[in-house]
Each structure stands twice: as C-alpha cells, then as structure tokens.
Amino acid sequence: MNIAVFDIGTNSIHMLVVEIQPDSSFRILDREKDTTRLGDGSFEKRRLKKSSMRRAWNVIGAFHKTAKKLHVSRTIGVATSAVRDAKNGKEFIREVYRRTGIRIRTISGDEEGRLIELAARSNMDVKGKKTLVIDIGGGSMELIVGDGKKHYFLKSFPLGVARLTDHFLSKDPPSQKQMRKLEKHIEKTLGDAVQKIRKHKVVKVIGTAGTMINLGSMAYEDEYSKRLKLVHHFVLQRKRLEEIHEKITGLSLKERLNFPGLDSKRADIILAGSILVRTLMRLLAMDRITISKQGIREGLILDYMDKNRKSLLRARSGKIRAGKIR
C-alpha cells in the first residue's frame, strides 16, 4: 500500500510518498519539496496573497501528478500556520480540492506538535526518557516535552522564522536595535513556558525542520570546510551556534548567500532562526541539540499506521516501527 503525505507549511510545501511494508514498517519511495513561501506577507493582514496561493496550487498539482505515477492509494494532506491563521485559508483549501481532489486538513498547533514529537522520537534512543522536541517552521514554533507515553508540555508559539523576519528584521542587514527587540520579544513570549519546561529536567533535546537542519549544516561546514552528508543525529553545540550567529550578524542578504552550508532559499530568514535558537538555548540552559530529519510528514505516516493497525495487520504481521532515514 502506497501513501502520499502533503505538508503545506508557511515556508515550504513537502510531499512524502511511502510504501507500507509487509512487516508494517515503511519504505520511502519519493520526497518532494518546494520553497513556495505561501505565508509571505500574510502575517499583518492575515490573508494569503493571490500570487502565493497560485504558486502553491501549481506546486501541489505537480506533486500530485508524481504521486499518481507511484500508484498512491491513500493521500493525507495537512496545512499548518500560514493557512491556519489566514482569513482566506479555507478558500485556499477549497481550490486545492477543486484542482486535485486532495482533501487538506488544517491542524492546530497542538496537533502539529504531537505529530512532530511522534516522528522525532521514533529514530532516537530516548525510549521512556523525558525529551524536549523543538520544531521551528515559517509561521510557528512547537515545543513538546514527552516520554513517549505522556506529554508533560505541548504548545505552539507564533515564533516562526518568516513571521519573525517580517515583523522585526526589515533592514538589510538588520540593525542591532532590531535584533535586540526580536530577542526581547522571544523572551517575553516564552517566559512562562521556560519555567514549566525547566521543571521537567529533560535528558535530551531534539530539533527538527529546515531552520534547525540548516543551522547544523552551517556549523559543520564552517568548521570542517566540507558538506555535512548526514544531518540526522548531528549534534549542534551552543558554542558553535554562537560562533555562526556572530559571523552572520551584520552581513547583508547578498553576503549571507555565500556563507558555507547556508541554503540560499533560507538566506533571508536564517538570522531570525539563529536568534530564536540561541535565545531558546540560553533560556533553557541547553548546551546541545540533536537534529532529526523526521518531522510532521513521518509523524502523519506513523499516526495513520497506528490508527489503522487492525486493518493493516489483517494482511500483515509484525511490529509497527518507523522507516529508515534515506
């Protein structure tokens, strides 16, 4: 059985196609990604731009054609912060259905966090241990403390890197005053959460999604002058993050484009990302974050398999487990 997952985010649109195996694991058949920037300019007026919606519809349509070629029998689609917050989000979703027949479900920040934690824990040696999972998107950031059985803290914050860049970092390069204002905003927004999270004394911190992955790649390439081949399980140390942050602070967008390891499509939002992560690490007294490539898409697959376990096990035997990172 082949399943396609569509993840419509503020910054990027992803598709993951997997084949559920006879032992109820899954094999990845295809991954697609486009930095569509659906949420660009939508945060102030809470409306998706027509140009951004058209780009997104075209990307989803192209991905849908790829999925059909892979004989997908089940499609799962979710939209997160940009669509969730937009007054015309339902209009966007209706048009996706009209063009492709794909039903997109807008999920809450809490549901987003639950799915992310499910995936992030699945390929880490954290069974039964309290873990903090950090997911940074374009429109929101999710913080989840859990042990695989229970959530001790789960909350979504309007601290996505595209949102923060739009609101605070308008100059090129951003001024020291703008960056200090952004840092204070993060501190204020996370004030109560920090106190609650620190009480749980987590044993491991896992970071997911593009901003965290890109910061890890930048830290590695800047230090070793070679590309990081496998970012999954890479440990981003606070000391290295501080060094990276100091190097990109003061650089113009054009200058940042030449920074080792930086994804050019994230050059305009990476400074907000580094400010957010370093502030979070300082507030929570963290010295390292282990990066996971597993995120909401894998979480949706695992969640589907778990909820349909009985029907899947009628034809298959074996324990459900996460797919390998490929």
10 in Cβ contact with 266 (< 8 Å) = no
Q: Is residue 325 part of a domain?
A: no
| Per-residue pLDDT at 320 | 40
| Per-residue pLDDT at 120 | 87
| Per-residue pLDDT at 89 | 95
**Do residues 61 and 208 share a domain?**
no
CATH number of the structural domain spanning residue 69 = 3.30.420.40
Phi-psi region of 71 (alpha: psi -120 to 50; beta: other; left: phi over 0): left
Domain that holds residue 94: 2-108+298-315
* Structural domains counted in the chain: 2
84 in Cβ contact with 59 (< 8 Å) = no
62 in Cβ contact with 162 (< 8 Å) = no
Query: Residue 11 carries which DSSP code?
Result: S
- The span from the CA of 288 to the CA of 266, in Å, is 22
Q: Is residue 207 part of a domain?
A: yes
CATH number of the structural domain spanning residue 204 = 3.30.420.150
| Per-residue pLDDT at 314 | 60
**Do residues 87 and 210 share a domain?**
no
Beta bridge partners of 28: 18
Mapping DSSP to helix (H, G, I), strand (E, B) and coil, where does residue 67 land?
helix
Q: Is residue 251 part of a domain?
A: yes
| Per-residue pLDDT at 313 | 63
| Per-residue pLDDT at 230 | 75
**Do residues 248 and 130 share a domain?**
yes
| Per-residue pLDDT at 323 | 42
| Per-residue pLDDT at 229 | 76
**Do residues 168 and 253 share a domain?**
yes
Residue 211: closest CA among 236, 182, 194: 236
The three-point CA angle 306-309-313 to 5° equals 145
Q: Is residue 60 part of a domain?
A: yes
Q: Could you say which residues of the chain have pLDDT below 70?
A: 310-326
Greatest pairwise CA separation for the chain in angstroms: 61
**Do residues 145 and 282 share a domain?**
yes
H or E element at residue 207: strand 204-208
Q: Is residue 28 part of a domain?
A: yes
| Per-residue pLDDT at 312 | 64
Q: CB neighbours (10 Å) of residue 62? A: 13
**Do residues 174 and 93 share a domain?**
no
- The span from the CA of 307 to the CA of 232, in Å, is 27
| Per-residue pLDDT at 129 | 86
How is residue 39 written in tokens? Answer: 């949420």
Q: Is residue 326 part of a domain?
A: no
Residue 197: closest CA among 278, 283, 296, 289: 283
**Do residues 173 and 98 share a domain?**
no
276 in Cβ contact with 141 (< 8 Å) = yes
Residue 138: closest CA among 7, 39, 248: 39
* Residue 73 identity: S
CA dihedral 143, 145, 149, 150 (to 10 degrees): -90
Q: Is residue 306 part of a domain?
A: yes
